[in-house]
Amino acid sequence: MKISIGADHAGFALKESLRRKLVADGHEVVDVGTFSEDSTDYPDIARKVADQVTSGRSERGVLVCLSGVGMSIAANKVDGIRAGLGFNLEEVRLTRAHNDVNVLALGAKYTDPALAAQMVDVFLATGFEGGRHARRLAKVAELERSPGEHVTLEGESE
């Protein structure tokens, strides 16, 4: 699988560990940076990974910052990205199976490298279940197409 990976300075060491693991596992890895622990802005890196995924140049993306939150927020601003923050293996499995997450965000401060490697494995191995989840993702996509418009949800009256 072709995977785009990126991190800011706080996530650099974990990104490097994951990059080496992915290459060793036989994946093609597009490393968009950062390439040192020098200060960098996470939205710039999130955009690069998101662009790789939405263009189809990469099948999935992995982002790392201090908490993972900044990367997930920034990546989710890009139309077509569904970034999820990874905390544990089951949560990562569910974000793929139910939400078809295409970018995994990890927090270097809170994620042990061994657990991060396992979460990436689950992220890459888990498929999307479709069905009722596809209907819900279609509603999410509609939110992207019509920002600011009120969408009436099931069971809600206007």
- Residues annotated as catalytic are 65, 98
Q: Measure the N-to-C terminal CA separation of the chain; round to a whole number of Å.
A: 45
Distance CA 48, CA 2 (A): 15
Distance CA 59, CA 38 (A): 28
Distance CA 63, CA 7 (A): 6
Q: Where are the alpha helices (DSSP H) in the chain?
A: 12-24, 42-54, 69-76, 89-99, 113-125, 132-145
Residue 137 corresponds to which tokens in the numbers above? 């993702």
